[in-house]
Structure 1
Amino acid sequence: MSETDSILIVEDDKDIAELLKVNLEDLSFQCDTCDRGDQAVTQIANKHYALVVLDLTLPGLNGLEVCKKVREFNPQQPILMLTAKSSELDQIIGLEAGADDYMTKPFSIPALQARVRTRIRRSKSYFQSVINAHDKGESERHVVGDLSIDSTCREVKVHEARLDLTAREFDLLKHFATHPEQVFSRSQLLDCVWGYNHDGYEHTVNSHINRLRTKLQTAVGNNSIIQTVWGVGYKLKTENCFIHH
């Protein structure tokens, strides 16, 4: 079992934590548990986890605060937030804080297992392709205006300065860059970037688009690189878009 197969469960309800641990270990993942937000930040800083399953309500630091602190030192750490709050506003706040995804309690164990399996499988598959490209001396770089998107290194730079994106934000930007001018609905983006499509999770796409636009606005003074096609979805404008191999 390697660290790439490890999951951190951050949950202060011991019964729920044990339930999650048993059912995720059934998928052959090694699971660590933690019941405080401040301790979770320390554990994530000291060990690589394929996924952090993070409860919203925690002692020490709540889930939102944990997300924000983790994003400061590890922007690409995958985080799945669990919340008993199912309102639209609560979901958006969790995503805006830096969570890659969320599930609301109560949830079915099979649904959680499927979500975790999909997330980790896609992550491992992508990173393996990156390793293979490095071994072969291959690289692919997309240039969008002042942005340089290196798929091999999973880096986005603005005039040689690195732009810190979460793993999901990078995947979303890269997906648009490889399909310039193609319009994608929220449903299609959930399929292509998240690897699943469930009713009610369109807020996941909206929040990531908004967060990505904010970072692009700060970095390059332009938040219209990803454009809204009203009533349909989103697209990347083709102006100054190039691909280098």
Structure 2
Amino acid sequence: MQDKILVVEDDHDIAGILKVHLAELSLNVDHVDTAESALQALQQQKYAVLLLDIMLPGMDGLTLCRKIKDKSPEQSILMLTSRSDEMDRIIGLEMGADDYITKPFSTRELQARIKAQLRHVHLLREKHNPKTDIESVYLGKLLINLQSHEIYYDDDTISLTSTEFDLLHFFAKHPNQVFSRTQLLDSVWGYQHSGYEHTVNSHINRLRAKLEQACNTQIIETIWGVGYKLNSSNLIQH
């Protein structure tokens, strides 16, 4: 089945360029130029990935991202930002965006980031497939259900985005092992690109906050100058 991508971009010249680059990946691409049109399109059909510009007329892209993620946290969203607007990129990640790409962008980088998001989407589909024999991961009272794509701690649900889920699952497969931001970009996001380590920082911070609120203990630890690790002893002893 051909994956569908929704481009939300009010600059029709940029949208045309995006459609050409995405067509090279054999993707079915739809385009809308307002947040309101994007919400209507999402009601009519499902999209594997949303390529969402921050600067939109009317409702801005950041607000749209939050609305979509509140309703469908598993929806993959790749934000389009200007290179100078670092704060917008940070806010976008804080609102649940799975990744971002800055303008101007290269064809190779755009396609690599879209393919990385599609890998997440395809893995998620497999996890929802009842024919797939996937076991759950247990760490003390923490349960990672790979088939239903849900997280529980002591029977209480922890709501995570798809990227946060994949990040936690990766840590859970390698408890107490330290990973650099570059290693996490390569293993979880599926690419390496200098200058995008903040993507890891923002997702780590959100994941850590959600886990600490639910589990009342620190699970994801920062090893200064090295990277991050999941401390399984805190889960097992807690």
Pair in the same fold by TM > 0.5? yes
1:220 matched residue in structure 2 = 215
1:204 matched residue in structure 2 = 199
> Structure 1 residue runs of 4+, over 6 Å off?
none
1:11 matched residue in structure 2 = 9
Matched, 1:135 2:131: yes
Paired residue for 1:148, among 143, 151, 154? 143
1:88 matched residue in structure 2 = 86
- Structure 2: where are the runs of 5+ without partners? none
Secondary structure of 2:233's match?
coil
**TM-score with structure 1 length normalisation?**
0.89
CA spacing shift, 1:90–1:241, aligned 2, 3 Å: same
Matches within 5 A, 1:91-170: 91-124=89-122, 126-127=123-124, 129-130=126-127, 134-135=130-131, 138-170=133-165
CA spacing shift, 1:170–1:58, aligned 2, 3 Å: same
Equivalent residues of 2:8, 2:38 under 8 A apart: yes
Q: How many residues align?
A: 236
Cα separation, 1, equivalents of 2:11 and 2:147: 40
Cα separation, 1, equivalents of 2:145 and 2:100: 28
Matched, 1:53 2:51: yes
Higher relative contact order (CA 8 A, sep 6+): 1
1:32 matched residue in structure 2 = 30
1:236 matched residue in structure 2 = 230
Q: Percent identity?
A: 51
**Deviation at 1:87?**
4.2
Cα separation, 1, equivalents of 2:203 and 2:110: 21
Secondary structure of 1:135's match?
coil
Cα separation, 2, equivalents of 1:131 and 1:73: 18
Cα separation, 1, equivalents of 2:33 and 2:126: 35
**Deviation at 1:234?**
0.5
Cα separation, 2, equivalents of 1:70 and 1:46: 14
**TM-score with structure 2 length normalisation?**
0.91
The residue type equivalent to 1:167 in the other structure is S
CA spacing shift, 1:65–1:234, aligned 2, 3 Å: same
Equivalent residues of 2:128, 2:149 under 8 A apart: no
**How large is the RMSD of aligned CA atoms in angstroms?**
1.9
Cα separation, 2, equivalents of 1:101 and 1:92: 10
